[in-house]
Amino acid sequence: MKFSFKNDYSEGCHPAILQALLEHNLDQQAGYGEDEYSLQAKELIKEKIKNPNSEIYFVSGGTQANLIVISSVLRPYQCAISAASGHILNNETGAIEATGHKILSIEKQDGKLAPEDIVHVLENHRNVPHQVMPKLVYISNSTELGTIYTLNELEDLSKFCKENKLYLFMDGARMGHGLTSEISDLTLEKVAELTDIFYLGGTKNGALIGEAIVINNQELQQDFAFNIKQKGALLAKGRLLGIQFLELMKNDLYFDLAKHANQQAMKIKNAMKEKGVHFLSDTYTNQIFPILNNDLIEKLSEKFEFYVWKKIDGNFSAIRLITSWNTDDKPVNDFIEILKNEL
């Protein structure tokens, strides 16, 4: 069977999580997130972000988190702003629009938004009341293109949003990978300080399911639980989410897993760079986009699965490789060996 570099959710979950599920399996617990594991996990997250006033909710997946957050934060006539590569724009079957809200799209090569991008959008949306009102800025870290925000960049964006009465929402489906990137100077504490709301992705970092929505802006906390229930996201057995996040947060397992994924990707990237390979974008997380000769791509695909991301010209294409918390050295080394032999 081929080893898959297609995504970071091909396997089950980290063994410690399964172990905890086994251990607590027959304990009776309150439903709907009132179980003791969920309560403990929330406390742990609050400690890590050093904000006892944040409120935390666990949901199953990223699209669900995005649609609940955005629809609960915006008034009917308000809209979100996103980079054109944003997950909410391209890969969620119109989930946000289905809740009634437009997303304004900004073309960015690196998938990241900066104040100057947003200024332009604001200037073009002043024909009251004939246009939607921009009210929420959606960013991802790491982004859908594997890039990350620096502390400086996030501070600038946060300041700009406050000045312009925009909410700043960070999609953290790959937050672990973003923060443990070798070039990141951002911390979870800073993310909590600089955003109104964000989530910590579990699904792509060792959990079976689960994203932890963290609401820092207190005016957005009111009645939030209603939205989760109304969108069908309140699990009867909330314990499943609580146990997972409790394990991930203990001893920073969450960050260790992400760091491992990043390192495996960097091994491949560095081996490629030594061989003169170019990349679609210069990423330092668990997603890399090397541009390879089509013959080599074919050769690699005999033993590995991955997405051919973009045709570059008649001979070359960019592929996407994703490593995960569970990507061992063996497939990485095997992959590199083929590369070295062929390049």
Least Å from the CB of residue 324 to a second copy: 10
Least Å from the CB of residue 160 to a second copy: 22
Does residue number 95 form part of the binding site for a second copy (CB under 8 A)? yes
Whichever of 128 and 314 has its CB closer to a second copy, that residue is 128
Does residue number 281 form part of the binding site for a second copy (CB under 8 A)? no
Return the residue of 29, 51, 263, 294 that touches a second copy, per CB under 8 A. 29
Least Å from the CB of residue 209 to a second copy: 6
Does residue number 97 form part of the binding site for a second copy (CB under 8 A)? yes
Return the residue of 128, 219, 302, 314 that touches a second copy, per CB under 8 A. 128
Looking only at residues 314 through 333 of this chain, which bind a second copy when binding is defined by CB under 8 A?
A: 326
Tell me the C-alpha distance between 145 and 279, whole Å.
Answer: 11
Return the residue of 48, 54, 58, 71 that touches a second copy, per CB under 8 A. 71
Whichever of 284 and 335 has its CB closer to a second copy, that residue is 335
Map the chain to HEC letters.
Answer: CCEECCCCCCCCCCHHHHHHHHHCCCCCCCCCCCCHHHHHHHHHHHHHHCCCCCEEEEECCHHHHHHHHHHHHCCCCEEEEEECCCHHHHCCCCHHHHCCCCEEEECCCCCCCCHHHHHHHHHCCCCCCCCCEEEEEEEECCCCCCCCCCHHHHHHHHHHHHHCCCEEEEECCCHHHHHCCCCCCCCHHHHHHHCCEEEEECHHHCCCCCEEEEECCHHHCCCHHHHHHHCCCCCCCCHHHHHHHHHHHHHHHHHHHHHHHHHHHHHHHHHHHHCCCEECCCCCCCEECEEEEHHHHHHHCCCEECEEEEECCCCEEEEEEECCCCCCHHHHHHHHHHHHHHC
Whichever of 7 and 333 has its CB closer to a second copy, that residue is 7
Whichever of 49 and 173 has its CB closer to a second copy, that residue is 173
The pair of structure tokens assigned to 187 is 């911390």
Looking only at residues 220 through 259 of this chain, which bind a second copy when binding is defined by CB under 8 A?
A: 223, 225-237, 239-240
The crossing angle, in degrees rounded to 10, of helices 239-249 and 253-274 is 60
Least Å from the CB of residue 200 to a second copy: 15
Return the residue of 52, 129, 276, 314 that touches a second copy, per CB under 8 A. 129
Does residue number 301 form part of the binding site for a second copy (CB under 8 A)? no
Looking only at residues 99 through 118 of this chain, which bind a second copy when binding is defined by CB under 8 A?
A: 99-102, 105
Whichever of 284 and 306 has its CB closer to a second copy, that residue is 306
Does residue number 157 form part of the binding site for a second copy (CB under 8 A)? no
Count of residues near a second copy by CB under 8 A: 79
Whichever of 91 and 150 has its CB closer to a second copy, that residue is 91
Return the residue of 38, 60, 158, 264 that touches a second copy, per CB under 8 A. 60
Which bin fits 246, alpha (ψ -120 to 50), beta or left (φ > 0)?
Answer: alpha
Whichever of 103 and 271 has its CB closer to a second copy, that residue is 103
Least Å from the CB of residue 282 to a second copy: 25
Least Å from the CB of residue 45 to a second copy: 20
